[in-house]
Structure 1
């Protein structure tokens, strides 16, 4: 039986959902990848994205547990009203090949069609159960990428301290950007619009101060931690400093031993000066000092993003596993 979860779900519903996610993770993902924590699961179920309508579907077993779960983000901004993102479609290993996944996908597709969406994308492990499932559903890989991992203690000990050219300095914060830097931070975020996107239909949004605040609040409200380091550039006329580069790390669950690298960006006019490598190295040191229980940082990078691949290689990241953004036209 399929059922739509309300928001927020009950503790029992959250536990049942997390049981499916944890069981599938152990079956489908390399043992080196830590499983998602319950805090992360609960946060995603209970706190809605500010720019999307969320749909949570479950397949309920006879004993009341869940055989499968699915999470769909239906973007509400006009620029992305044509598409959606399938955040999860997961079936408990022992319930597979019984039509559970097909039933969940049928309900998801019906919702997409009813809402006028012309495409849907999802992120999957290459060669895994997810890719095998979507292969016959019209999905194709539109952005090849891979996961890379950096060992925090080893890298922090081996790499020289980050140094900046004259006229630049580091600044750091936890959570939401300080008001004095909000507009500058939004301007720097807009640089991500030129990042490789392959054939993905989702449009990179325009960033403003409220959007960058909202993105950080979402991490906080879901129980996570977001750390940001920026490189500030002096103004030649003695005016306000500008953000030349930034990097963000997220712990979706404070108990996690693996942090997730969010954006690293160097503003166009400041490129070629080693700022990307410097800001990532600086943030690595901050993480090691303030969160000593974190052992690794993971990041996903598109295969054709040569500049970021070079930066990560210089910082000791190793390729862990291939993945991709897969998309289906409806």
Structure 2
């Protein structure tokens, strides 16, 4: 290879390295220095917990009582039974006899009108009697009975949006390990952005906002034509530096179980493809360059080693980057209860950036046709 091409390759590698280092130090370090409140706050804001469920009998049977039995003085749980055919209606009726603060909204299948999660959530929000809303999914298990208390306490600061964290249970295996890592990386990105005053997304498995904010901004109307995005697109369009706060005390985590097969995992990811292109331009640019520079960094690294372009310098920068990530992520992963992933960081980081770019391309061409 010509000398000028080798020099260009080395320069390109350094640009990608600097870009990745910038994201680490300027963005992710914000979360590393954040300390969640340890003391249990005293709060009594009326809360409506909203869950949209379609054919979730088993999950509702296990998880719903854990939410209904939260240690909080004033709350209701609104479950939207969205066209279920698995006897969820009978289970919910039975639970209503025991828990008087459980309310059920039922949607029946229409031959000509197919509903999605946004429609179901909108009905749940309309049915909620309280101003402050807390959202999760039927397949999520609360990590403690103080979930509502700690999430609700953030509204006392004047916040209108509270971003929580929802990790996957550790079950072992490559798919589970990577799913957990991808979830952690996503959380590091959106939580750090919120701390910088530039929140761009949230996760519907653990998210809170006010009814006033929802209706004053016409709910999901701006993106109702897209099936996914009830969480991240809503936050992207309505979050500001002043109205958004994060909550990552481990007592607020909402755990769920990852898919066990590649096919199941792919179908899950497919439902979320293409949503990012509807983000604000500044967020698309930020996320795109992070994904591209991370992927191209590894491509340039491999090429530099193959063609023996300053191998000592190249490997030194690679090691410096990994050590910086370990230093910054060490505290974050401890807080997020995922410290075991640190030892796999080098290989998981590589897979992560390949995954981002491959699925980003797929998401450009594939249209999601169902939410469940």
Is this a same-fold pair by TM over 0.5? no
Higher strand share: 1
* Larger Rg, first or second structure (1 or 2): 2
Query: What TM-score comes out, normalization by structure 2 length?
Result: 0.27
